[in-house]
Structure 1
Amino acid sequence: MPIEYWHWMILGFALLALEMLLPTGFIFLWVGIGAIVVGALGFLIPGLGLGVEFALWGGFSVCAVLAWRHFKPMSFESERPTLNRRGHSYLGRVFTLAEPIVDGVGKLRVDDSQWRIMGADLPAGVRVQVTDVQGATLIVERIAE
């Protein structure tokens, strides 16, 4: 049984459906579109031949994938890049210690939460600046007054 144009169409739409079901990174999308294009060409130009159809399918698929990778939209820059990295949003901010830092570790109340801080031993009431973040710990340094 020869491969007809509608076989290519079914293959193309099946690949598009597979793309919706699997997290493949759009590969099945472009291969499916290539199969649909070959099906359309098979409808318009009957008797292309199986070898020509497979060559066209491969060529269209490869060109579509390469074009997509070249022209795909770049990731956008967020207005709030530290939105989901809360500790990093405190970098550079200055706070007054409510509790002392003892043995390099202390606590700092920031907005509506309490953070573990690390830095040089300092008494309560000293102003500190957040200089780094290590996991859920803020690294602070005393600022000269």
Structure 2
Amino acid sequence: MFVALIDQWGLWSWFVLGLALLALELVMPGMFMVWIGLGAIATGLLSLAFWSDAFWPWQVQALSFAALSVVAILLGRRFLRSDASRSDEPLLNQRTASLIGRTATLQEPIREGRGRIRLDDTFWSVSGPDLSTGTRVIVVSARGGELTVDAA
């Protein structure tokens, strides 16, 4: 089937395959078919240059397509990952981790290792050394919804 497709459509089969894969990405989003589609289009561009040459049979074209698709996937992952890792708010979805280093006043004393503080508009359960109400504390770590504090 693959050989018949190439024989029938010639070098344009790579462009058609590439555009079909790019269109498939619209139906199945995930940024994966894009790279394979770009590999097919790159193979089509190579076919424009080498179509009449004897060293460019369908087997070499298929290997070229596979290699160019892998290269496109690796380059795409590299560029997308580097952009995604840079953020002006790296702790945006980690609310308790963003509280580490903040200071607060104890609203309820810490007795037997448990107490409460208020940060902004939220009361937080805290653990730490026994301290009285009104003592300034600093958040030193966070796990789940509980903060660990120490005297400031």
Q: Which residue of 2 aligns with 1:103?
A: 112
* Alignment partner of 1:62 is 2:67: no
5+ long unaligned stretches in structure 1: none
Offset at 1:108? 1.1
Is the CA contact (8 Å cut-off) linking 1:105 and 1:118 kept in structure 2? yes
Percent of paired sites with the same residue: 39
With 31-40 and 111-120 compared, the bigger mean Cα shift is at 31-40
Shift of 1:44: 5.6
| Counterparts in 2 of 1:76 and 1:137: CA distance versus 1, 3 Å | same
Counterpart Cα distance in 1 of 2:131 and 2:95: 24
The structure 2 residue matched to 1:12, chosen from 18, 30, 36, is 18
Change (3 A) 1:19 1:115: same
RMSD: 2.6
1:22 to 5, 28, 38: 28
- Which runs of 5 or more residues in structure 2 are unaligned? none
The one of 33, 37, 46 aligned to 2:42: 37
Tell me the CA shift for residue 60 of structure 1: 2.4
What amino acid maps onto 2:72 in structure 1? A
What CA distance in whole angstroms lies between the structure 1 residues aligned with 2:92 and 2:74? 33
Decide whether the 8 Å contact of 1:5 with 1:42 is kept in 2.
Answer: yes
SS of the residue 1:85 aligns to: coil
TM-score by length of 2: 0.74
Q: Distance in 1 between matches of 2:78 and 2:93?
A: 29
TM-score by length of 1: 0.77
Residue 131 of structure 2 is matched in structure 1 by 122
Q: Relative to total residues, which structure has the larger helix share, 1 or 2?
A: 2
1:122 match: secondary structure: coil
Residue 94 of structure 1: how far off its partner (Å):
2.0
In 1: Cα distance, 2:80 partner to 2:89 partner: 23
Among 47, 53, 63, which residue is 2:61 paired with? 53
Q: Residues 5 and 38 of structure 1 are in contact (CA less than 8 Å); yes or no, is this contact kept in structure 2?
A: no
Alpha carbons of structure 1 residues 46 and 113: separation in structure 2 relative to 1, 3 Å: same
Q: Give the superposition deviation at 1:41.
A: 4.3
Evaluate the alpha carbon distance shift between residue 14 and residue 135 of structure 1 in structure 2; reply closer, same or farther with a 3 A threshold. same
Moved more, 105-114 or 93-102: 93-102
